[in-house]
Structure 1
Amino acid sequence: MPIEVGIWKIDNEVKKLSYSPIESEKKLEDILEKDLSILSDDLLLIGRQIQTDYGKFIDMFALDQEGNISIIELKKNRTPREVVAQALDYASWVQNLSYERILKLFEDKQGIPLEEAFVDKFGTDLPEKLNESHQIIIVSSQLDAETERIINYLSDNFGVPINAVFFRYFKEGNQEFITRSWLIDPNVVEEKSSNTRNESKTEKWNKQDFVVNFDDGQYRSWEDATKYGFISAGNGKWYSRTLKQLFVGARIFCMIPKHGYVGIGKVVEEAKPMRDVEIEINEERKKLIDLPLNAPNMKHDLENDELCEHVVRVEWVETVPKEKAYWTKGLKANQNSAYKLRSQYTIEKVLKFFGLEES
């Protein structure tokens, strides 16, 4: 079952806002087109009403940072069987789309090259391979029991990368609000999607390991990070947003760009703006902003959630100074502040360097 969401307004009194279904699926589609981050920060809209070779139209079509496709289908007034069957039919068409076809679809809909839009959205070049996997997202203003049963059955028994998301609409005076609830944890669906890939092209993720790029310098210091137990990123949403992937218990392999791997640790607290982070020192909790720091500009833009430093607290297992960082040919590297580590070669090499064994 998806988690039920309620909203309460707190003023002189506590008042629960009443909800209703969004008045039209088109309004919901318009909202998603305006800001697809409502579904995920990691999606770039290719377009609406994408025509397949079978004469049907996909409601919305998107690409993630790894070059994988999301088929976004609004339930509208169709029966559960109709909408799921239609989405599966679309997926059978999508799986064979070529790199060149995806480029053309994007430019036809958006009027600019995908390569340019991808850099603008993600700050990195378009991957060399596109559409190695795909997933299906059913969007609804309400989620009925029959749709839920069908999607759970396909996901649990056959590993189909399919999910559903439904929205609640709230209104208070002239203000409008929507909330979002997923039927299945999106990370679970993403992993099912990864497992449909050609295994000769892409390694599976082990669901625990990440690489974190730590840019040691004026905005953050590796000495501070090892002393107080954290990693961080900032100076823009693109740099800090990937830290949100890091969940409590995740293992991180920390690397300083142009130097190499400098530490392995376990996440103990998810990403927060620096001003909200507390560090325990001698059994006393102190705000990180009040502690002496080597990085001269780490406290930049403290009240600006988009620009400020975002901090993830870490329990370090092993670290080395920057001057002793480990690097060898073939290790995984990427421009993102944090990303899933799929390379078993990198895991084994870095663990061996730090004198650790795979748990």
Structure 2
Amino acid sequence: MPIEVGIWKVNDEIKKVSFSSIESEKKLEDILVKDISIISEDLLLIGRQIQTDYGKYIDMLAMDEDGNLSIIELKKNRTPRDVVAQALDYASWVQNLSYDQILKIYEEKNNVPLEKAFADKFENALPEKLNDSHQIMIVSSQLDGETERLINYLSINFDVPINAVFFRYFKEGDHQFITRSWLIDPNIVEEKSSNTKVVSKKEKWNNQDFVVNFEENQNRNWQDAIEYGFVSAGNGRWYSKTLEQLFVGARVFCMIPKSGYVAIGTVVETAKPIKDVMFTIEGEEKNIAELQMVAPNMLHDLDDLEKCEHVVKVEWIKYVPKEQAYWEKGLKANQNSAYKLRSQYTIDKVSKFFGIEQDNNRDNSK
């Protein structure tokens, strides 16, 4: 049943602070837009009054750190049946929003890229999948019995990820307060939201670009990689196997972890155990043992195909020393040695840093 919330001022005397539902309804949406953390600190507001394809407008749309969406609908003066039915209709539209559509909505509403705002909010790069699931929140200044029955019916009997959050607005002199209560534990609703998963909405890959993490240590040195044209990984199959994705002609965006992006290049020879790799030096074929390397231990575990260094030869297009690496919030980062670069935001930013023209005609077939 609805929870009654009250506030008492306790100084020299005990005095109950008055509650105003009318003033609350007028101010509630503006308050939430100004600071969505009043609902949850784990939400980033995408925008308010989001137009659907059916000509209706969602009061607010938000995103959590996993890229999942929340439809936030204010009850205002509508009947319980109207507001719940409307929210369900919005959810049927939201569940089909693509990665690119979400980026576009955010930028149109906020005039900044979602990648940057997401990184500022969550201290992490925007996930490759967005809108894997969603949930619905009905917001009101007080919860009536009919709304409560409808939400409990949908949640308990049909696992619909719907909840009600209700706020009380209080005023005492020049001071204003709001309180928040949930009908259902938000953790329970979040668990139910996994049932709304549909086909994953990933940012599409252009069938060309990869990120390679070049981890500097005794086994590899960035100066060697620049001079001889390669990237490498080793010390276990987990580290080296992702290099096998790199095909001849693929473009690599090379990154030194904890430093940033240091180069863009093109793969000219696929991954091989280090002992099988040959370099042409002044017209003469040489293996790495014959080269002057800065890394003192690149030939570690030479006869162990699981642990030895695996090398991909690369022709560098542009590169910088480690000390000049490029990094800013929102750029793509991942712990794998090599992975598909789906983030157009990262591609554009890093390419601009290196002064490389971008072809915007992307192959989005995967």
- For the residues of structure 2 that align with 1:175 and 1:148, how far apart are their CA atoms? 31
1:73 counterpart residue number: 73
CA RMSD of aligned residues (A): 2.2
Equivalent residue for 1:197? 197
The percentage of aligned residue pairs carrying the same residue is 78
Partner of residue 90, structure 1: 90
Whether the 8 Å contact between 2:163 and 2:186 is mirrored in structure 1 is yes
2:178 pairs with 1:184: no
Q: Partner of 1:167 in structure 2?
A: 167
What is the Cα deviation at residue 76 of structure 1? Answer: 1.2
Distance 1:14 1:76 in 2: 32
- 1:119 aligned onto 2:128: no
Runs of 4+ with >6 A deviation: none
Deviation at residue 161 of structure 1 after TM alignment: 0.3
Provide the rounded CA distance (Å) in 2 between the counterparts of 1:128 and 1:25.
37
SS at match of 1:171: strand
Contact 1:135 1:190 in 2 (8 A): yes
Q: What per-residue deviation string (whole Å, max 9, x for no partner) do you get for residues 32-89 of structure 1?
A: 0011000000000000100000110000000000100000001111111111111000
Give the CA deviation at 1:27: 1.4
AA at the equivalent of 2:132: E
Retained in 2: the 8 A contact 1:2–1:184? no
Q: Offset of 1:110 from its aligned partner?
A: 0.4
| Superimposed CA distance per residue, residues 7-50 of structure 1 (whole angstroms, 9 cap, x where no aligned partner) | 12121122222222151534110000011000000000000100
Secondary structure of 2:129's partner? Answer: coil
**Greater RCO, 1 or 2 (C-alpha within 8 Å, sep 6+):** 2
109-118 vs 170-179, which deviates more? 170-179
The range that moved more, 28-37 or 16-25, is 16-25
Q: Distance in 2 between matches of 1:187 and 1:162?
A: 12
Q: CA deviation at 1:197?
A: 2.3
Shift of 1:196: 2.7
Q: Which amino acid aligns with 2:127?
A: P
1:147 is aligned to 147
Task: Tell whether the 8 Å contact from 2:36 to 2:43 is kept in structure 1 after alignment.
Answer: yes
Distance 1:177 1:200, change over 3 A: closer
- Deviation, structure 1 residue 165: 1.0
Alignment-derived partner of residue 285 in structure 2: none
Q: Distance in 1 between matches of 2:51 and 2:5?
A: 35
* Cα deviations by residue, 1:117-166 (Å, 9 ceiling, x for unpaired): 00000100001100000000001112111111101000000000000111
- How many residues align? The count is 205
- TM-score, with length taken from structure 2: 0.53
For residues 1-359 of structure 1, the aligned pairs below 5 Å read 1-23=1-23, 25-197=25-197
Q: CA 1:2/1:125 → structure 2, altered by over 3 Å: closer, same or farther?
A: farther
Aligned-partner residue type, residue 190 of structure 1: E
- Distance in 1 of aligned mates of 2:95 and 2:197: 10
Q: Distance in 1 between matches of 2:101 and 2:2?
A: 36
Partner of 1:240: none
Aligned letter for 2:6?
Answer: G
Q: Distance in 1 between matches of 2:30 and 2:75?
A: 15
The CA deviation at 1:4 is 2.4
Separation in 1 of the partners of 2:158 and 2:66?
Answer: 24
- Cα contact 1:22–1:28 (8 A) shared by 2: no
- After superposition, the Cα gap between the structure-2 partners of 1:22 and 1:178, relative to the gap in structure 1 and judged at 3 Å, is farther
Tell me, yes or no, if the aligned pair for 2:129 and 2:200 is still in contact at 8 Å: no
Q: What CA distance in whole angstroms lies between the structure 1 residues aligned with 2:200 and 2:126?
A: 21
Which residue in 2 is equivalent to 1:274?
none
CA distance in 1, matches of 2:197, 2:22: 36
Cα distance change, pair 126–33 in 1 and its aligned pair in 2 (3 A): same
CA distance in 2, matches of 1:191, 1:24: 30
The answer to whether the 8 A contact 1:44-1:118 is kept is: yes
Q: Aligned partners of 1:185 and 1:138: how far apart in 2?
A: 14
Q: Which amino acid aligns with 2:164?
A: A
Q: Work out whether residues 43 and 65 of structure 2, in 8 Å CA contact, stay in contact via their aligned partners in 1.
A: yes
CA deviations over 1:268-323 (Å, ceiling 9, x no partner): xxxxxxxxxxxxxxxxxxxxxxxxxxxxxxxxxxxxxxxxxxxxxxxxxxxxxxxx
CA–CA separation in structure 2 for the residues paired with 1:45 and 1:147: 25
SS in 2 for 1:195: helix
Q: Indicate conservation of the 8 Å contact 1:73/1:138, yes or no.
A: yes
For 2:57 and 2:32, locate their aligned partners in 1 and report how far apart those are by CA, in whole Å.
17
**Aligned equivalents of 1:125, 1:118: Cα separation in 2:** 7
Q: TM-score, normalised by structure 1?
A: 0.54
